A and B are shown apart, each in its own frame.
Chain A
Amino acid sequence: MNRIAPSADPKDTTVAMRGMVKRFPGIVANDHVDFTLRRGEVHALIGENGAGKTTLMNMLAGVQRPEEGEIFVHDKSVQIRSPRDADQCGIAMVHQELMLAEALTVAENVALGLRNLKWQIHWSSIERSIEEQSRVLGFDIDPRAYVWQLSIGQRQRVELLRALMRGARILLLDEPTAVLSPHEIHQFLASLRRLTAQGMSIALVSHKLEEIVQIADRFTVLRKGRGVVSGVPTASTSQTELASWMVGQKIDKPCHDVRSPASDVEVLDVHDVHACGDKGFEALCHVSFKVFAGEILGVAGVSGNGQRELADVLSGMRPITSGRITLCGNDVTHATPARFLRAGLAYIPENRRTQGAVTSLSLAENLALKTYRQPPIAKRWGLSRKEMRSFARRLVDTFHVQAVSLQQPAGHLSGGNLQRLILARELSRPISLLLAAQPTRGLDIAATRNIHDLFMAQRKAGVATLLISEDLDELSSLCDRLIVLFRGRIVARFDRASFHRDAIGRAMAGIETSA
């Protein structure tokens, strides 16, 4: 990737944050953190889950107000009290949890962020400029599409478009590539370069060390709310060094290559399944595969090629139009989620906060969701609070969920802890199939590894696993076999022996069809 050198002159500092302090009940999220951003640079902000990166960005975006510290934009001390103030400073943030109105179209969402809208809105001109901007950046976005119809990757591009069309000069990106496929990441990073070349300053929160080394000019590392290093040039740093900065210990890549062969007990049989997506078009087409006990089958593919629909179908949340699904000998073709559950399905959904947990209910109640019908928690008509608590206590301890109390709402947990909570719940009963969609998205190295270890333990215990992921490293280190989805069809199948990054990548891009 050709780089245009960013300004190395400290005088070109666009944003300077000094001594930022932000506390939340029970935790100091930012403890005197410094951060600077120069014109035309990409400054990576890295650290584990809960290190305070998002909080720091939120203070700059006016979402949260600092308790102490000063912010300078173009050498002028500013008070950013609201997103509107941030907007006036030319700061725009793309949040990890996307902030789009799903019931509106792309153009309408973009218009929501525009200043100087006339009394009468000229939709066609807004749509035209979205198309134009989207072409310049290499995005493929239909301005007339409704946001709920778009994949997460596409929604994120809409967020980016919205920030740019509002005239932002300082972009804050909270884990933008977490939702993108390798191919999309490449495009995305290239578009970031195009933006910095125009003098844009970009702060990038990320977990992916590879892309930080590739794209960032400088980086700042946060650990437990404190700045470990601030504004170090990336050029002189390797990926391993970055990783050790981040976790504060030497890390080694997990190696799961010593494998026992999978058994020949068929757990899941998906036969010639067709299903429609939200737009009513066919999202899955002739999908057939089997998963055996004690193996991990990976589903690779670029976001929006039928993965979400596949997960829905296999959890009973989306009807299929034709085909047959068998789980442990039970015909579950048109089954409700309840029947999938009884047949032994454990499901780690893609969206932890909307599909995985009831954020307003307590940890204990969330942990009991899959077991409250059976004793000892179930008591005739009733529920035993005591049993529920001790059950939750056991799971929280076994799975190392870091929680203040079992009564705290699940929504207060950080992403990694919430995911451990969901896994704990799903693995808290005997299961035969583990269905996981993007299980480590947005998690730090330690949490990711923790979850990978759990998957391998399940594999050893004879559980069949279907792992839907866009992270090729994850897939290749965990899976026994791999299928690639492209436009709702399986376009390639790989055995562990034949995993080849390029071949898989080509299949994901729809270039090779060797199914």
Chain B
Amino acid sequence: MVMLKWHLEPRLDTTTRQRWIHTIASVAAALLVGAILLAGAGVDPLEAYVHIIRTGLLSGYAVSDTIVKATPILLCALGASVAFRMKLWNIGGEGQLLLGAWAAAGVALHWLPPTTPSLFMLLTMMLAGALAGAVTCAIAGVLRAWLHVNEIITTLMLNYVASLWVSYFVFGPWSDRGFPLTPSFPKGATLPRLTDIAASWPALGGMTAHAGAILALVASGVVSHALARTRWGFEIRVLGQNPTVGRLSGMNHARLTLTTMAVSGALCGLAGMTEVSGVVHRLQDRFSPGFGFMGIIVAWLGKLEPWRMVVVAFLFGVLLVGGKEIQPGGVPQMLQGLILFVIVGSQFWLRFKIRVARTEPTS
């Protein structure tokens, strides 16, 4: 008699295709579980999903809105992933984003005259935003590298520092007539949007996607290249996997910790700059709904690979835009949580496969 036997077999390697299938299957599974929960809450899940996709994906405006949301998430995810590659757990992306926005606002409103040529103004704002994020994160980096202070705690705590710092400025010195926000940026300090060129292409009128999206895509390319094909990226991977071998190979662990944290913070700071310059056009209290934290989730879901994170960030954008009007509220957050849960939980299938073997029973 021939018997069928099940085996769990470890996979030595996973192909890119298998990893994509895993991501997609996880999202599908999460949506399924989400459907059950939605049904339990008295919502028709199918209708809810159709609504999410329609308002988040199925029109030019929808895609434009989605890209607006995806832009800061993607930049924060890139920032988080760089540090995560080296097993440095920078969870202060939110704070770095806030201080990046603060520095960009400072440049736009106070440190450069409003008549500054737009290109120069925007480049200075990007630089200032990146620098502010880099310095914030580098504080945790220095403490980590030379005093062995746990960077999870320091980056987390710096989030509060950053939040209060921004609050102080928008309520105090930079306040617009006592409101908790600054005056609007001068025209030259705002990133060009699709709607700004509606004069030439009327179809783009009213679309708010801004040049920050291009910046985020370029950043994805740069990070992807840097991790895979530079000595810096190589050292990050080696030290992240095995610091002893890294040191024996002559790598400077402390210095690399510092530069990696700085780059990680710079990308998050850049996210803050694009958000104030491209969307809000001023600095105000609580302008970020937690892009920095979403970036961490996206980095994990994208398995720390930049191009995968582009896709996941876009998907999160769809959820945020499309889920806005669904009652009860919080549906996008619930789905985000579910997707993360399913993906992390199902990592198992990337490491093992089921083999069905026909065996003759031994006598």
Which residues from chain A sit less than 8 Å from chain B, CB to CB?
18-19, 25, 65, 67-70, 315, 317, 336-338, 341-342, 347, 349, 354-361, 365, 368-370, 372-373, 378, 381-383, 385, 408-409, 412
Contact = CB atoms under 8 A, between A and B. Distances in A.
A412 B12 contact: yes
Contacts, number: 82
A102 B252 CA distance: 26
B362 A373 contact: no
Contact of B238 (A25, A338, A358, A385): A358
B237 A341 contact: no
A372 B248 contact: no
B250 A338 contact: yes
Smallest CB-CB A-B distances: 4 pairs: A338-B250, A369-B249, A341-B250, A358-B242
Contact of B248 (A355, A409, A412): A355
A2 to B, nearest CB: 41
Given A338-B250, A338-B252, A412-B12, A19 B231 contact: no
Nearest to B252: A338
A354 B244 contact: yes
Contact of A347 (B237, B248, B362): B248
A18 B357 CA distance: 19
Contact of B362 (A70, A360, A370, A409): A70
A372 B359 CA distance: 49
B157 to A, nearest CB: 26
30 contacts: A19-B362, A25-B9, A25-B12, A69-B362, A70-B362, A317-B247, A317-B248, A336-B250, A337-B250, A342-B250, A355-B244, A355-B245, A357-B245, A358-B241, A358-B242, A358-B245, A361-B241, A365-B237, A369-B249, A370-B250, A373-B231, A378-B231, A381-B231, A381-B232, A383-B230, A383-B231, A383-B233, A408-B13, A409-B13, A412-B12
Contacts of A349: 248
Interface in B189-238: 229-234, 237-238
A368 B7 CA distance: 37
Contacts of A357: 242, 245
A426 to B, nearest CB: 10
Contacts of B13: 408-409
Given A67-B359, A359-B242, 12 more contacts: A25-B9, A315-B248, A317-B248, A336-B250, A337-B247, A338-B252, A349-B248, A356-B245, A357-B242, A365-B237, A382-B229, A408-B13
Contacts of B53: none
B15 to A, nearest CB: 11
A337 B245 contact: no
Contacts of B230: 381-383
A385 B7 contact: no
A349 B244 CA distance: 11
Interface residues on B, range: 20 to 34
Nearest to B237: A361
A373 B242 contact: no
B251 interface: yes
Nearest to B235: A372
Nearest to B247: A337
Contact of A408 (B12, B234, B241, B249): B12
B255 to A, nearest CB: 10
A18 B249 CA distance: 47
Contacts of B249: 337, 341, 369-370
Contacts of B246: 358
Nearest to A388: B234
Contacts of A356: 245
A502 B163 CA distance: 73
A373 B248 contact: no
A96 to B, nearest CB: 19
A383 B248 contact: no
Given A68-B359, A408-B13, A383 B247 contact: no
B244 A385 contact: no
A311 to B, nearest CB: 11
A368 B231 CA distance: 11
Contacts of A359: 241-242
Contacts of A360: 241
A65 B352 CA distance: 14
Nearest to B357: A67
B194 to A, nearest CB: 35
Interface centre among B7, B9, B249, B359 (most CB of A within 10 A): B249
B234 A372 contact: yes
A315 to B, nearest CB: 6
A341 B252 CA distance: 12
Interface in B280-338: none
Interface centre among B12, B234, B247, B248 (most CB of A within 10 A): B248
Contacts of B251: 338
Interface string B1-26: 00000010100110000000000000
Contacts of A370: 249-250
Contacts of A347: 248
Contacts of B231: 372-373, 378, 381-383
B229 A385 contact: yes
Contacts of A342: 250
Contacts of A354: 242, 244
Contacts of B248: 315, 317, 337, 341, 347, 349, 355
A427 to B, nearest CB: 15
Contacts of A337: 247-250
Nearest to A351: B244
Contacts of B9: 25
Contacts of A372: 231, 234
